[in-house]
Structure 1
Amino acid sequence: MQTLHTPFRRLLAATALAGLGATVAPAVFAQTTFDVIGPHEYELPVDFKPFNVFVQYGYVQNNKDTFNANGDKVKGDGSQTIVGMSKYVRFWTPEGNPKIGLAYEVIVPEIGVRNQHAANAADRHISGIGDPLTGFAVWMKPSPESTFGFQSFLQVPVGDDRVSDTNWKNLSSFLWDVRLTDKLGWTADAGMVFQSEKKDGSRPGNTFHTNHRLGYRVTGLLEPFIALDYESTSSRNNQPSARVLDGGVGVMFHTFDNQSISLRYSSSIDGKNHAANNSVNIKYAYVW
């Protein structure tokens, strides 16, 4: 594994603890849980001086298809969802054990939904601040080329009425990263989403999710990668079970030591009782 300069290692950490795209808006137009992660997402440092990170995520999702109960793709409502997520993270290591890394973060989503086919004119353009999230992560490095950790977030239902999911959520997952060679790396996570009862009296089932990114650093600037995302939600209170498998391709631009930009297109491969992903995703990270 190549030795990384400190600012760049911080930039890799800046992209961590991120993927909350499936929970920032009501499930009817949600993406797959944690699908915003990118290459190096969990290649995190230990024994470092505290630093700060700002990350801006954004995606545009076209809801032209959905999966029915038989797993077939059928026509969706034709709406378009535009989501931004502004995140601040503080990274540090405990004085008593510098071999462990810690992070705490706050995420504020901005949501817009356009549906020109809605019967009610008031429903043709919905926008507002979504339910904010806050949480922590802890990790260690079993070897210089690997990272293993745990993260947990709480989503608070205080967003604008038109875009809030109206219930509490806990998102907890294990995370890992392995540098397979000096150019090839695998970063991934696996975890659960637990939800409380919504205002309408319904309570979604528990969701298992896992996300994987395999990136290859072809030059100092460019790192193409492939993405695989999966989630499965159990049935509860007469609500059917649901699942989806997404694949994607993207590229990460290592623009500066303390900044990066990632672009990705994602599409659903298989699913059941779930919206079909058809999205363009962007991420900008800045470290100081």
Structure 2
Amino acid sequence: MILKVAELSYNHHGDDEILKTLIGKASEAGATHIKFEKRAKESYTEFKSNKQLFELSDEQIDLLIEICKKFGLGWFCSVRDISSANAIAKFKPKKVKIASREAHSLDFIASVIKIFEDQVEYVISTGGLTLEQIQLIHDLMDENQISSKLTLVHCVSKYPHSNDESNINRIKYLKQTYACKVGYSGHESGIEPSIFAAILGVSYIERHLALDQTDVVKSNVNYTDEKCTLTPTEFQQMCKSIDSFVRLKTLPLRDIPLDDELNRLRLQNIR
């Protein structure tokens, strides 16, 4: 089964009703999991961002969990600093994500491991990381005896990137090199690389979701997050295509398909 993750980012605008609607639309579109982000407000001193206006409160995270349970969806969070990791730990998540920006720091990953230990699955994005850096992350997970709980997620840290820039065949390298699960987080302005990632055998696909491109909360005015964010209709199209391709891969081998056999017999009778 491929996990199809709807990354809400801050496209809920910190609004309960938008949050409810987004999760409902994600469920209708075929998502299996909802992901959001958590950053301590004091960490926004590093840079200016509209996102700091829309951090979910503890009460809103409880609401998110309740809605996900109603729709039968899993949930988890990208923890962007240690304070946020400690805050999310209170909710006893089954997964935790470390985004590409934070994955550059082995110290940060080690600190997150100290908080969650072997009680969660770790989803780590690899955007902008060298193969050597990825190896060091896997080594760290091995040292803590939790590499079986790791999903390495291929992504390109450009918003958006073209299909040709997706470096999608890196998925093959990750699958051939490591025994852990491998995923894909797409920032393309479309869905083709995401579908191809499914064909390559990933177990996890993540895409940003918003009710509409005009609702996308940008990191700052210079970013173009909306160009790699899917609407519910686009997300549904992706999910249906993924499910179709996965089904095709699992069909049993037949010497001659039934319809071909009937046609062959019909042609023999004509002769």
Larger relative helix fraction: 2
Q: TM-score, normalized by length of structure 1?
A: 0.29
- TM-score, normalised by the number of residues in structure 2: 0.31
Q: Greater share of strand residues, 1 or 2?
A: 1
